[in-house]
Amino acid sequence: MGEARNLRFLGWGASSVSLVLSLASALVLFSVLLLTSGKSPLDTYASIFGSTLGNGFGFSEIFVKMIPILFTALAVALPARLSLVNVGGEGQLHLGALMAAAAALAVGAGTPPWVGIPVTLVAGMAGGALWALVPAILRAKGWLNETISTLLLNYVAIRVVDYFVFGPLRDPSSSNVPQTMTFAEGFRWPAFAGRIHLGIVFALAALVLFAVVINRTRWGYEIRAAGSNPLAARRHGLPVTTYILVVLCVGGALAGLAGTGEIMAIQGRLRPGFSPSYGYLGFLVAWLAGHRPLRILFMGFLVALIATGGDSLQIDQGLPSATVNILMALILFMVLADAWRPDRLEARIQAWLDRKSRGTP
């Protein structure tokens, strides 16, 4: 018993050490890159981390960016447990926002928040889920792989939003800027602590629910079983087709909430290009985290931190804010490649522990 716990602790320790080493080497590589073009790495890091970790408002902004990333990461992680690849978070996010906007504009002013907010929630989830339903059906029928269909539908979704914002949902009084009218107060998600809004409650609730369902329920067990061996699962009579439809649509609904939160709490109206690739960032976070809930939380925070830090680079250092994408990509490369392999680290730590217990240098 104690032995097993020690081994588990060792494995956890090795993967944490591996992660820290990956982050450190990414930071070093980024410094080299900055030095070769005559920029000071210290100033750059001071700007990225100082503006986010060392400043109350900046710190709250990390969580603001983390909300949509958590939703879109969960939209990938849940289907991934059934070995389905949902690359369509960006599209589902757009459709969720569109449906929520349409619902808010249709129901109209004077709606109290206890009606308005649930309306946006339901509409946003429905939009995302409907957008995922097409790939889900195609996949369940065995007609088309969901990786391709969700990817293709991303571009369609962005143009559907453009169509409505430039056309039927356009605010007639804003002739220059294509955007909808501002939503009535009753639909707006309230913010607290800076711009951190109600969405963080939903996102964390979804994360906990995901963890419980996947790890502690029969559904979760069956989903994981069907994911690792669909043929055997079918032979045992598991409803694999139903699960395909459910996990993809629930994933879509979650991504839809990412879009809903962005427009109902942050933007206040729907505009084209309101998402800075949150869908793709969520995809990366889910893969970095191995689709596990706690790691999604950590990786989501990290990616949100770097993205937030980029905004200050422009102001403090005169660097394009996209510069942080370099740092983000270097971290991704290190982690995706398992540059510091946890299994080897584990063996080394074990050897070191053995030597220590034997008392030899």
Residues near other proteins (CB under 8 A): 33, 37, 83, 85, 87, 138, 143-145, 147-149, 151-156, 159-160, 162-163, 166-167, 227-231, 280, 283-284, 287-288, 319-320, 322-330, 332-333, 336-338
- Residue 119 or 326: the one with the smaller Cβ distance to other proteins is 326
Contact 255, 75 (CB under 8 A): yes
**Which residues share a beta bridge with 191?**
197
The whole-angstrom separation of Cα 116 and Cα 75 is: 24
Query: For the purposes of burial, counting CB atoms within 10 Å of the CB of 1, is it exposed (0-12), middle (13-18) or buried (19 or more)?
Result: exposed
Neighbouring-strand partners of residue 197: 191
8 A C-beta contact, residue 278 and residue 128: no
Q: Rounded distance, CA 263 to CA 271, Å?
A: 9
Question: Minimum distance between the CB of residue 309 and other proteins, rounded to whole angstroms?
Answer: 13
Nearest to 93 by CA among 131, 119, 57, 60: 131
Cβ nearer to other proteins, comparing 167 with 361: 167
Instruction: Tell the smallest beta-carbon distance from residue 147 to other proteins (Å).
Output: 4
As measured in angstroms, the least distance from the Cβ of 189 to other proteins is: 28
Note whether 197 and 132 are within 8 A (CB).
no
Cα-only R_g, the chain: 22
**d(Cα 242, Cα 361) in Å, to the nearest integer?**
59
| Dihedral sign computed on CA atoms, order 113, 118, 121, 127 | negative
Least distance between other proteins and beta carbon 197 (Å): 26
Which C-beta is closer to other proteins: that of 44 or that of 120?
44
Least CB distance to other proteins at residue 32 (A): 13
Nearer to other proteins, 69 or 125 (CB): 69
CB-nearer residue toward other proteins: 115 or 347: 347
- Residue 141, C-beta contacts closer than 8 angstroms, at least 6 positions apart: none
Q: Which is nearer to other proteins, 64 or 327 (CB)?
A: 327
Instruction: Give the nearer residue to other proteins in terms of CB position, either 2 or 273.
Output: 273
CA dist 198 and 266 (Å) reads: 11
Q: Give min distance, CB of 180 to other proteins, in A.
A: 15
Q: Which is nearer to other proteins, 54 or 168 (CB)?
A: 168
Give Cβ neighbours of residue 107 (< 8 Å, ≥ 6 apart): 115, 116, 119, 187
Which string of DSSP letters, residue by residue, matches 249-269? HHHHHHHHHHHHHIIIIIISS
We find the least distance from the C-beta atom of residue 142 to other proteins, in angstroms, to be: 8
Q: Smallest gap, in angstroms, from Cβ of residue 196 to other proteins?
A: 25
Q: Count how many Cα atoms sit within 13 Å of the Cα of residue 287 in the half-sphere of its side chain.
A: 17
- Which residue, 1 or 231, is less far from other proteins as judged by CB? 231
d(CA 259, CA 101): 10
Shortest reach from residue 320's CB to other proteins, in Å: 4
